[in-house]
Chain A
Amino acid sequence: MRRFLAYSMPVLLLFAWLPQVLTRDLVTFLFFTFIFMVLAANYDLLGGFLRYMNLGQGAFFGLAAYIFALLLQHFPVFFLRLHPLGLPVAVVAAVVATAVFAFLLAYPLFRLRGAYFAVVTFGLVLVLQQAVLRTPALTGGSLGVTLPPQFYVDVQQAYYPGLALAFLAVLLNFAVSRSRLGLALHTIRDSEPTASAIGVDPFRCKRLALVLAAIPSAMAGCLFALFLGHLYVETVFGMEKTLLPVIMALVGGSGHFLGPVVGGLVVQGIDLGLRYGAFPVPALAIFGLMLMATGLFLPGGLLSVLHPRGRTAR
């Protein structure tokens, strides 16, 4: 743990210094990268440690963003009175609600495994999209939700919480990988009967992992809502919020706490390059091809190039 903190300090300082020298566009780009890294790291809690592909990570993100925005929209006076405690109260409410959602979701979801789990979690995002679109009275439907302008934050203000969240999400993965929970998850991944036999309760571990994976994503959702000021279904429940993190984790190296960081930077970097280079190829197609190549040639992700026998396989 101490080594982890020692190594991460210079990186954190570097990222903390970058907004001083970069253009506003690039700072926004880094902020988005942090948000994606949080989602990718959270995805990897289940995807890497447990080999359960949760394609619905975006559901937690979007749900928290919506709960948060709706709270602020419907009770702006209440949260403004509480100022400066107003925002934290709303964030905590949204994150707790999302965590409870994840907790309850564990019951039907963990009856599934492997491929079925992946596909059903993906369906979850579609269901939440519809739930929002079809209840315009509560959620604004396709018109979206607007936050009261008092709460807007600038990218310069959102950048540091974003960086902190990304750091915390990676730290969470690191801490889990060095904890009893991490060992239990690895045992369950390798053989569930063995895990049960040595006294690990597989369902409780999986449930805990799902709830842990929901919390930083939910916080990222709140931050994202503050930054955008206006939420649409496509921006918070869109395909990219739920698929890109998976691609980042897998391309970077699933199962290693640095995988989501590497993957996040690479995928976002390519996205940026394509946007500025104006290539006549959509970015998602490139990511799709990268994913194919990863599955076929580099099952351990980019990190396994650096670490041929590294920790990805543990």
Chain B
Amino acid sequence: MQIFLDILVGGLTLGGIYALIAFTLSLALATTHVLNVAHGSVIVLGAALATLLLGFWHVNPAVAVLIFLVAFLVLGFLFEGGLVRPILHKPPEAILMASIVTTFGLALALETLLGFYWARLVHPEPSFSLTFRVPAIILPGDLILPTRRLVILAFAVVAIAFFHLFLKHTRLGKEARALSQDYEGALVVGVNPRAVSMAIFTLGIAVTALCGAFFVLTVPLNPYDGIRLTLVAMIIVVLGGVGSLPGVLAAGLLLGVAEVCTGFFLGPAWAPVVFLGLLFLMLLLRPAGLLGERQ
């Protein structure tokens, strides 16, 4: 029973984080046609900054959160201004290809520099992880509830709810949805794609970095995990359908549970094999994605 509970909570937690990561990627892709290959590197960067602030410098947590958020809002702002804005006027296909090239370059540069300078300046073996203590809850029947994972799950739920509210009830959110449904139609009725892209990338990158900080509460990351995480996010996006929040949620949870089960039964290194197996199966059986339609 305990094993079953661990797998269930572990899978849901990982799945929640995956869903969130995939959703921020998918939102940017659907509204601006930019595929951010450096998405995973932002997660790793978030993990690195959180580890540096809390694990090495022991900054007061409230101050750390503030520094963290400011740093990544600024990074998102610079990312949008430097890499997205210059190509936003091109036709969608060209935006996609150009963004893959530039963000792929960014991912390489970020990962290599992070690994290199972390090893030189902070610790010779770069690895990012955080620990914190929460009292365990014991359920009737001597089951131990993994509270630490529940904290992460709570973060994922709050962040997903935040995005849901943002998309449904704010002006920018509605404009983002309009752009993803019919790009030219949205331009005709006066949506400003620049404002939307600015909002999507600053928010998206800050939340993605936060995901990284929460991710390393259970699983440590190293500087070169970025592209692997982008891969996971992309698989979830393909499985769930671009721009579909419910589809991405379902696919994220599915992959989270699949990864935890794989880790338990076969060993954690098999996870990418299982992911791609699931993806190929899906592509052969249901090319349109789990839920919702594909572009």
Please list the residues of chain A having a beta carbon within 8 angstroms of any beta carbon in chain B: 51, 53, 107-108, 111-112, 114-116, 118-120, 122-124, 126-127, 130-131, 133-134, 239, 243, 246-247, 250, 281-282, 284-296, 299
Contacts and interface: CB of A to CB of B under 8 A. Distances in A.
Contacts of B2: none
B231 A291 contact: no
- 9 nearest A-B pairs in the assembled complex, by CB-CB distance: A291-B105, A288-B109, A288-B108, A295-B101, A295-B102, A292-B105, A119-B234, A285-B112, A284-B112
B107 A108 contact: no
B150 interface: no
A284 B112 CA distance: 6
B235 A123 contact: yes
Contacts of A290: 105
B231 A119 contact: yes
Contact of A288 (B83, B112, B238): B112
Interface string B58-83: 00000000000000000000000001
Interface of chain A, main secondary structure: helix
Interface residues of B, number: 46
A260 B115 CA distance: 28
B275 interface: yes
B30 to A, nearest CB: 12
A122 B231 contact: yes
Contacts of A288: 104-110, 112
A6 to B, nearest CB: 34
Contact of A285 (B116, B228, B269): B116
Contacts of B96: 114-115
Contact of A127 (B37, B238, B272): B272
Contact of A295 (B105, B109, B228, B279): B105
B234 A126 contact: no
A294 B29 CA distance: 21
A120 B234 CA distance: 8
A248 B112 CA distance: 18
A301 to B, nearest CB: 10
Contacts of A296: 83, 86-87, 98, 102
Contacts, number: 120
B270 A295 contact: no
Contacts of B235: 119-120, 123
Contacts of A295: 87, 98-102, 105
B113 interface: yes
A133 to B, nearest CB: 7
Contact of A250 (B101, B238, B272): B101
Given A287-B108, A288-B105, A111 B276 contact: no
Nearest to A190: B93
Contacts of B228: 126
A243 B227 CA distance: 11
Interface string B231-253: 10011001000000000000000
B138 interface: no
Contact of B273 (A115, A127, A299): A127
A110 B76 CA distance: 33
10 contacts: A114-B96, A119-B230, A119-B235, A122-B231, A123-B231, A288-B106, A289-B105, A295-B99, A296-B86, A296-B102
B284 interface: yes
Contact of B276 (A115, A120, A285, A291): A120
A127 B276 contact: yes
A285 B117 CA distance: 11
A291 B280 contact: no
B97 interface: yes
B210 interface: no
A122 B35 CA distance: 15
Given A123-B231, A292-B83, A115 B102 contact: no
A167 to B, nearest CB: 27
Given A119-B231, A296-B87, A126 B113 contact: no
B100 A118 contact: yes
B187 interface: no
A53 B83 contact: no
Nearest to B275: A123
Contacts of B267: 134
Contacts of B86: 296
B146 interface: no
B106 A111 contact: no
B283 interface: yes
Contacts of A293: 105
B283 A112 contact: yes
A181 B109 CA distance: 36
A111 B104 CA distance: 23
Nearest to A291: B105
A218 B60 CA distance: 55
B238 A116 contact: yes
Contacts of A114: 35, 93, 96-97
Given A123-B231, A124-B276, A111 B283 contact: yes
B287 interface: yes
